[in-house]
Structure 1
């Protein structure tokens, strides 16, 4: 733009000077404009110069004389060159404003050409289109190269921020050593699965485990009922510990945003944190026992840790707390459902997360599917849960909040309920 302005000014002065030097007709025209102010004369010359440079005309009058013709040709060439450079720079500037979207569009054009070349069916093309829309959301980044260019503290901070929802919804991470969480998060890889996709299949050799950031999956086994897992759960860790085959199939019920961890990275992280390995092994063995499946490798490892005294008091307490948490959640939920005995809820497009807590099978991840999360995802809760506690006959307890408690606000409600099981009292407070 600056170059075009300078060239326009020079051509303007050239036309102004030339009008005094050549043919009598030009001199008469110059004498005609002699009485005009300097600003008016410069404006006439600038108009003529820009008309030539932009190739839109000759100004107030066409070229007069051979010198004027050649000067007009020169100004047109200079103007066309400057104008082309201006358009090119403007186009590049507009494209650079959203380079990630442009990169996505270029990539998807290649995908479309690939689908056309291989003559893929229409339904498969639609699935590929939907996958790209949900996976990249119209923008594409080379995230690995971006993070590799940063120093380690900044890279870890960015990864922790990007995975903050996963950490917040998963007590396994929220209550663990921050160094372990950071080491684990740096190894995770983001993946998206469509409804109906089989994430893992029973009988195959496991090479990854998965953490659910968002979505609902069904755990399918031949020996037990289907189980639902949702945000904050994880699955697929047993075969990574035993290097065996998958004990169940997992299918996505809707669009699922998961983080995967390969077996090599899994073992690499757990080598640095042996207590977390023991926790994974103990929880995995407990899940296998509860669905009637045993694994000699895991059983030998857990018994070795217990008999050899390699577990200190703090580690043992943490591991037992994780296992007991899984069992307590299942027992408490089962008692609540039995006491309330709600009518069957109409079918809902959003799967209900009660089943894994009641049955507590293999894939009901210990300490990662809390009851509060189940209630938060429950599409239709029994109405009695929203009554005052004194109105729930079987759950009546004089120690509960009185009727004089502050009224429920418009946005925040407190849901209180208690359940007794095996001489233990469970009290859960859920904010919805």
Structure 2
């Protein structure tokens, strides 16, 4: 019998042991070939996987000393014999010549990654490995516990975010421009009302108007206009009396309330559409002395008035509509200047000529706008008014035409037959102090 000693191990065999990650085989105490073979088999035998704990494995479980092998010799003897018949025992001198082994033995030969005793393996990894569900296993490998607590979503790149913000701003700008164009178009066109313009009053307002008409004291103040003008019983008599002409106080007060309601509506519309709200009013209603001053004294005499109304000079171009009531003898008409459309209109219920008014207004515009005024750009469309068939309703036509223009309604949407009821309606608005409450401008249903 040939006795093998440690000197019999070749350098390549020793080097191979180191490459295997197991260190060197200790043959101390081996006397026979059977001892060498057993020591070699114990060295290369895989660890007990049932006892393997990835988080608690120590060095002693991976590398066994000869003393530990002898203590477990009796328990492993039978297992060793069965394994010995299942495969060929590799030579301790040539570990590189070992043929590929089953997965468990190959893993034992190469050695599993060792975790230092001072570090524990993450529990979310071991849980995922133990779980048979592939989805949970992948989640255990790729998702940390902190990730599970957060709502995961697709991150948007900075370029994509900037692009989305740019498109959102463009859509907002386009929507704003469209709203402004639509608002301007509504002001440039006139439509028929959704219901008859002149409606009967309810019983409560009929009684109030009847009381104003029945007042015996002509000097009694029934209400004040928006600018403080006192309207007395005698003024309401020109509005509610039979076959009466409206006086200056009634016409001026009603136009002031139209101006007020139209400007409030324009401000709300500008706020909704995102348009800049200017200090210059969109609607201006002059009193009955404006035209007479312009005709008799010239446009320079109206300069202080326009400054006071915040529509002086080029600021006039920010005005939507300017009303100019005109009284010729005993006949009332109304002129309308629309800087927004660069038009000069004239409404006469008797169908009179607009030429005198147009000529005076051109001189006024030239004085205010200076070099900005280009005469060819200002047009005088032939607009018409509903016609009267008597000699005393002209003032009522003036008030109704002004309301229609401010509201964007066709000035032919009413007739002479509506004038009796319209007188009561004008009186009710004056007693109500404007287009609010029961006569709210926005809720008129027109």
Q: Same fold (TM over 0.5)?
A: no
Which structure has the bigger radius of gyration? 2
- Of the two structures, which has the highest relative contact order with CA contacts closer than 8 Å and spacing of 6 or more? 2
Q: Which has the higher strand share?
A: 1
Which category of TM-score, normalised to the shorter sequence, fits these structures?
A: under 0.3
**What TM-score, normalized by structure 1, do the two folds share?**
0.24
